[in-house]
């Protein structure tokens, strides 16, 4: 009798286990435990539409030519560049693509944002203008050349 009870309990637990995990990890579940947008993070301001795109999430294997070929499907690309580390020469994981027209840039964002390139999901958005560079630090008193 005790053996039959133990078998029935084990069967019930084993049957309920995967179903419980499946509902926990299901993306179709309405009670997903993580919020899609954290409440305390402000929404990033969108950049003004321009012909220059910022592309992030690039693989270390992505080259300038590979980036150009991928985005050229959506319009005429003037320039495509993967930003690399000066010391090592490895990609920093982001780059820039410049189109000839605003329409081409919009189509490039629409076509490539959230898509795969070299096995990685990339993100494309309008590039923000650079912040103005800070002024050089003031020189005080005796510098190494003896000039004042």
For 81-95, write each residue's pLDDT tens digit: 999 999 999 999 999
Structural domain of residue 78, as residue ranges? Answer: 61-126
pLDDT grade for 13, boundaries at 50, 70 and 90:
very low
Q: Is residue 122 part of a domain?
A: yes
Q: Is residue 90 part of a domain?
A: yes
Q: Is residue 143 part of a domain?
A: no
Q: How many residues in total does the chain contain?
A: 148
Question: Do residues 65 and 103 touch, judged by C-beta distance below 8 A?
Answer: no
Q: Is residue 107 part of a domain?
A: yes
How large a percentage of the chain has pLDDT more than 90?
51
Q: What is the mean pLDDT of residues 65-76?
A: 96
| Paired tokens of 120 | 């990685």
Q: What is the CATH number of the domain that holds 117?
A: 3.30.70.330
Q: Is residue 120 part of a domain?
A: yes
Q: Is residue 133 part of a domain?
A: no
Interatomic CA distance for residues 122 and 109, integer angstroms: 10
Interatomic CA distance for residues 101 and 51, integer angstroms: 6
> Residue 22 pLDDT > 70, yes or no?
no
Domain total of the chain: 1
Phi, psi at 16, each rounded to 5°: -80, -25
Q: Is residue 84 part of a domain?
A: yes
């Amino acid at each position: 009798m005790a053996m039959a009870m133990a078998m029935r309990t084990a069967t019930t637990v084993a049957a309920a286990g995967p179903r419980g995990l499946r509902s926990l990890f299901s993306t179709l579940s309405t009670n997903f435990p993580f919020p899609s947008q954290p409440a305390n993070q402000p929404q990033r301001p969108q950049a003004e539409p321009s012909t220059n795109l910022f592309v992030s999430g690039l693989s270390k294997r992505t080259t300038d030519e590979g980036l150009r070929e991928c985005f050229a499907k959506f319009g005429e690309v003037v320039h495509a560049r993967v930003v690399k580390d000066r010391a090592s020469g490895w990609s920093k994981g982001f780059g820039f693509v410049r189109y000839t027209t605003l329409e081409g840039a919009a189509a490039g964002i629409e076509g490539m944002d959230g898509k795969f390139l070299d096995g990685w999901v990339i993100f494309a958005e309008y590039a923000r203008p650079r912040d103005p560079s800070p002024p050089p630090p003031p020189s005080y008193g005796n510098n190494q050349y003896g000039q004042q």
